[in-house]
């Protein structure tokens, strides 16, 4: 009988304040990195790492490694249901605690992700290029079509340099805030730096925010129209 029933296991996982904070932060549906979750929970990265391992082994989280970041999200809707039920009960008891404010809307709009463009803008670019046949998505491999090469060259990017690199030119990168794909790889990086050179966007030092200039606003919409 020392072997507790499984609901105790799960409840105990949620029952630690640090872990509860992390799970609460993940209820927005967005995936967050280990560092972000550590900050949310108010513990060091080491401690957070330990907690995240436990939550993952407990089946409450789904994780995805991307570059040197590790993104965590709730494993399933069931998990959110439990949290919601708990919050309902807690709220009914009047011990309500306000949640932390929403993320920076600027970050949501456009941000740097490994030197390429992510956020709303990144997705719009990806979608526009895909639907116009510039990018082709075959069997998990993303390639630039001939039409696409033409478009990119006209846009002012020299593809010969990129062709010679060993690193893949086109990669898909899953945008966790939007849960959609955007363009990574050397072409993704080249596009961002070129747009910066054109004065369309400005990268904010020490932040991941990419701000769009008024000139960039219209130029971008023209170059990458939503279909």
Partner DNA sequence: TTCATAGTTCGATCATAATCGAAGCGTGAA
Partner DNA sequence: TTCACGCTTCGATTATGATCGAACTATGAA
Residue 212 near DNA by CB under 7 A:
no
Binding mask 114-153 for DNA (x = CB under 7 A): xx--------------------------------------
The CA distances from residue 189 to 39, 41, 49, 167, in Å, are: 29, 33, 30, 12
**Residues binding a second copy (CB under 8 A):** 1-21, 24, 41-42, 59, 76, 78-79, 81-90, 92-93, 95-99, 174
Instruction: Give the E-state strand segments of the chain in sequence order.
Output: 32-33, 61-66, 69-74, 111-113, 116-118, 135-138, 141-144, 171-175, 180-184, 201-203, 210-212
Least separation in angstroms between residue 90's CB and DNA is 16
Residues contacting residue 206 through CB under 8 Å, at least 6 positions apart: none
30 contacts 176 by C-beta, under 8 angstroms: yes
220 contacts 156 by C-beta, under 8 angstroms: no
Q: What does the alpha-carbon distance between residue 181 and residue 86 come to, in Å, rounded to a whole number? A: 33
Closest CA to 115 of 164, 62, 182: 182
Least separation in angstroms between residue 71's CB and a second copy is 21
Least separation in angstroms between residue 117's CB and a second copy is 18
Least separation in angstroms between residue 49's CB and DNA is 3
In the chain, what is the straight-line distance between the N-terminal and C-terminal CA atoms, in Å?
Answer: 62
Q: Which of residues 9-48 bind DNA (CB under 7 A)?
A: 12, 16-18, 33-35, 43-48
Which stretch, 49-57, 103-111, 142-150, 212-220, contacts DNA (CB under 7 A)?
49-57
| Nearer Cβ to a second copy (10/159) | 10
| Nearer Cβ to a second copy (27/159) | 27
Pairing of strands 135-138, 141-144: antiparallel
| Nearer Cβ to a second copy (2/68) | 2
By a kind-dependent CB cut-off of 5 to 8 A, residue 70 interacts, out of a second copy, DNA, none, with DNA
Site size toward DNA (CB under 7 A) is: 25
Which residues sit at the interface with DNA, rule CB under 7 A?
12, 16-18, 33-35, 43-54, 67-70, 114-115
């Amino acid at each position: 009988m020392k072997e507790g029933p499984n609901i105790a296991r799960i409840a105990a996982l949620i029952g630690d304040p640090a872990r509860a904070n992390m799970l609460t932060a993940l209820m927005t549906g967005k995936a967050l990195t280990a560092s972000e979750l550590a900050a949310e929970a108010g513990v060091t990265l080491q401690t957070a790492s330990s907690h995240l391992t436990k939550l993952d082994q407990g089946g409450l989280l789904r994780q995805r490694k991307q570059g040197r970041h590790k993104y965590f999200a709730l494993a399933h809707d069931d998990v959110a249901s439990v949290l919601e039920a708990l919050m309902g009960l807690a709220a009914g008891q009047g011990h309500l605690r306000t949640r932390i404010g929403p993320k920076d809307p600027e970050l949501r709009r456009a941000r740097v992700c490994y030197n390429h463009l992510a956020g709303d803008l990144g997705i719009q670019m990806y979608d526009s290029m895909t639907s116009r046949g510039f990018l082709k998505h075959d069997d998990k491999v993303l390639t630039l079509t001939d039409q696409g090469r033409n478009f990119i060259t006209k846009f002012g990017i020299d593809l010969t340099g990129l062709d010679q690199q060993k690193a893949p030119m086109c990669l898909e990168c899953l945008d966790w805030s939007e849960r959609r794909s955007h363009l990574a790889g050397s072409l993704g990086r080249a596009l961002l730096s070129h747009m910066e050179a054109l004065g369309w966007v400005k990268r904010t030092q020490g932040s991941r925010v990419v701000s769009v200039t008024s000139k960039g606003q219209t130029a971008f919409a023209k170059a990458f129209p939503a279909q």
